[in-house]
Amino acid sequence: MRAAVVVFPGSNCDRDLAVAFEAAGCQVDMVWHKDSELPQGIDIVGVPGGFSYGDYLRCGAIAAQSPIVKSVKAHAERGGYVMGICNGFQVLTETGLLPGALLRNAGLKYICKTVGLRVETAQSAYTEGYAVGDVIDIPIAHHDGNYFADADTIARLQGEDRVAFTYMDNPNGAQADIAGILSQNRRVLGMMPHPERAADAGHGGTDGQALFRALAGALSTA
């Protein structure tokens, strides 16, 4: 599998994401936000966490207009895989690749801790390494992680089995406890928690490893 990790001014999880991809057996290209095209042969694009463009205007809003994102959207529209984590999830909602928006946390405070996530579907390349109902420990670190969408969108996500993860103990007020969602073709994942920070035993946990390993396995046979 060949992965591209997009780097924006203010990204701070790009290296963590690249290391997690590499540990799963991927070749990784780091792609600068001012580039206009992804490298040839990319299987998945990772949009990392951080504070792209300082979170000015609205989290992810400026990054969604950067030159490389047009190529990321085209990649997704061709059926390519895209994973946005934390700020990356915010960017994907701003581009329209995923529905909804990420609002200020209900408590109006930045939250940084490990939380329990319930796996809601195993029917995606990202989650097939888990079983439905598994509870995994994954770190969060966000100020604007409160997932919001209208009632029809929430019902559609649930009805189409597109909720990937939910919080066991909702830390931010997210509707329906949503921590991560999938696109209609199940190839775009957005999630607020950081699986790349739970992919190395030396960093305190390995519950995120299964996501990267399953993804690499699925794409190697695609």
194 catalytic? Reply is: yes
**Which is the catalytic residue, given 13, 59, 75, 196?**
196
196 is known as an active-site residue: yes
Which amino acid type is present at position 144? D
Q: Which of 33, 75, 142, 194 is catalytic?
A: 194
Residue among 74, 72, 70 nearest 84 (CA): 72
Instruction: Compute φ and ψ for 75, nearest 5 degrees.
Output: -60, -45
8 close to 63: Cβ distance less than 8 angstroms: yes
Residue type, position 219, single letter: L
Integer Cα distance of 21 and 27 in angstroms: 8
Helix orientation angle between 209-220 and 14-23, rounded to the nearest 10 degrees? 60
Comparing C-alpha atoms, which of 164, 158, 220 is closest to residue 193?
A: 164
Dig out the tokens for 182 from the structure: 């999938």
Question: Active site residue: 86, 94, 120, 142, which one?
Answer: 86
Q: Annotated catalytic, 75?
A: no
Torsion of CA 85, 88, 91, 95, to 10 degrees: -70
Active site residues: 86, 194, 196
